Chains A and B, each alone.
Chain A
Amino acid sequence: AQSVAQPEDQVNVAEGNPLTVKCTYSVSGNPYLFWYVQYPNRGLQFLLKYITGDNLVKGSYGFEAEFNKSQTSFHLKKPSALVSDSALYFCAVSAFGNEKLTFGTGTRLTIIP
């Protein structure tokens, strides 16, 4: 069975500082990894994904994520946080040949002005 762990329910970062939202995964075979963001009363918005290739993936709104196979991690990062980045962030995984997305429990990111 595939699973995702987001160890931090809440992350607070001062505006302008770098941010990291952590994600580890478990899956049989090669993983497909995703980050989504959810604003209040809105659906999930796609940020970025890792399928294959370069371990550093760049996505929307200046976000990036680094795939680390040995640590089974896919942490989300941004060099300089904005107040507008405050939202709920979900990491998700699927496996090659299986379209099912398994989500983590989410991390609430709050950027402090």
Chain B
Amino acid sequence: DAKTTQPPSMDCAEGRAANLPCNHSTISGNEYVYWYRQIHSQGPQYIIHGLKNNETNEMASLIITEDRKSSTLILPHATLRDTAVYYCIVRVDPGGFKTIFGAGTRLFVKA
């Protein structure tokens, strides 16, 4: 089962890029990497996902290394509202239903 490792917390200055790393060294070839975030006590919110190629959407960019053993979520211009816990997830069963969230990275965006 692929699992992920993230730093427990990170700081970022408002307006700067926030780069959140994730290690998933045991990922298999057909497993996607997903990123979610949880603001305060709300339900988690999907951000982005990818398989091999780098991905970008209106919220963030996802950079996946060529060997797929790690990835980085990039928030290009962090705002105070981006303060949240960010979860990097790899599906753990072939059916794609079981999900392990882990503890995530608590990002503090400071003015």
**Chain B binds chain A:** no
Listed in ascending order, the chain A residues whose CB lies under 8 Å from chain B are: none
